[in-house]
């Protein structure tokens, strides 16, 4: 309404000015009437000469309507340990430019920054206790509200892990648009896990059989085999995953698509990209 009133006021002022105009000759009159043979003049002079007047300039200050916010991807990728989430996250980030977020990294960043959430998490970590869901959800929500996530979109890696966490995310207003689930047989998961090695310097994960590290003695020497990357530990982790995955899926059934996590990783990456872009 305010913009309409401003426009009406400008039209009234323009009408008054035009009434005071004295075209210099008959050709100007024709031009003012929109003669088909001559273009209408963009400039006119007030009676007696004076400063040229451009009627279009009256409207140059009109405010443009605000453009709608750019839609950005909001993705969750889930799967058992060693299902290939990390590898596919790299492809998704490369293809869509989203911010890759793991709760472990987000938690460590908060602790390092000394935030209130970080201090709360640190208390539990120093006691050797699990960080409560409400603290983790707070950290995730805070990270997703950051400028880079708002501008580029986000990719949550392996979170939420339980139905309780998924419900808490919904209550916190964290809404995903795509839920990717990677399915891999148990025996393949165990084989992938037992041969897995990580580089503490670069964060890269290798596999002695499927994705061997570079032939660099320095890199090979510093590779770490996690204590829980054993067959016995892996079986327990898979069982724990299976207890929770159905509850998590229940919160995202309308946006979920399941993929076979065995096979060519590039073909899988293409399938995920197609799903995300839909």
Catalytic residues, by residue number, are: 85, 161, 196, 226, 237
Using DSSP's 3-state secondary structure scheme, residue 243 falls into helix
Spatial CB neighbours of 99, under 8 Å, sequence gap ≥ 6: 93, 146, 148, 149, 152, 153, 154, 155
Closest Cα partner for 204 from 187, 216, 191, 188?
216
Selection from 111, 161, 100 nearest residue 133 by Cα: 161
DSSP H stretches of helix in the chain: 2-19, 26-32, 85-96, 103-113, 116-126, 133-144, 147-152, 163-171, 186-194, 217-222, 231-251, 265-277
Within 13 Å of residue 214, how many CA atoms lie on the same side as its CB?
A: 7
Which DSSP letter does residue 34 get?
T
Closest CA to 231 of 181, 269, 188: 188
Residue the block writes with tokens 């989203």: 98
Instruction: Give the residue carrying structure tokens 């979170």.
Output: 159
C-alpha 98/C-alpha 230 separation (Å) is: 32
Contacts of 46 (CB under 8 A, 6+ apart): 17, 20, 21, 22, 53
In order of 13, 21, 37, 39, 42, the CA distances from 34 in angstroms are 21, 16, 9, 7, 12
């Amino acid at each position: 309404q305010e913009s309409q009133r401003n426009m009406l006021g400008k039209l009234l002022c323009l009408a008054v000015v035009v009434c005071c105009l004295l075209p210099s000759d008959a050709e100007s009159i024709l031009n003012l009437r929109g003669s088909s043979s001559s273009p209408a003049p963009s400039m006119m002079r007030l009676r007696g000469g004076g400063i040229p007047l451009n009627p279009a300039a009256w409207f140059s200050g009109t405010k443009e309507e605000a453009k709608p916010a750019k839609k950005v991807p909001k993705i969750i990728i889930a799967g058992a340990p060693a299902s290939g989430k990390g590898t596919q996250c790299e492809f998704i980030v490369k293809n869509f430019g989203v911010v890759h977020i793991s709760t472990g990294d987000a938690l460590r960043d908060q602790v390092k920054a000394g935030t209130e959430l970080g201090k709360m998490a640190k208390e539990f970590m120093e006691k050797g206790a699990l960080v409560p869901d409400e603290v983790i959800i707070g950290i995730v929500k805070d990270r997703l509200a950051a400028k880079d996530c708002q501008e580029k979109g986000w990719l949550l890696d392996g979170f939420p892990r339980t139905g309780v966490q998924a419900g808490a995310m919904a209550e916190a207003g964290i809404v995903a648009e795509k839920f990717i689930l990677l399915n891999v047989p148990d025996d393949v998961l165990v084989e992938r896990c037992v041969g897995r090695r990580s580089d503490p310097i670069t964060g890269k994960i290798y596999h002695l059989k499927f994705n061997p590290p570079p032939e660099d003695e320095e890199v090979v020497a510093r590779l770490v085999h996690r204590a829980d990357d054993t067959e016995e530990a892996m079986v327990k982790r898979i069982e724990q995953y299976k207890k929770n995955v159905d509850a998590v899926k229940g919160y995202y059934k309308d946006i979920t698509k399941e993929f076979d996590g065995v096979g060519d990783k590039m073909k899988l990456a293409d399938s995920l990209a197609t799903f995300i872009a839909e």
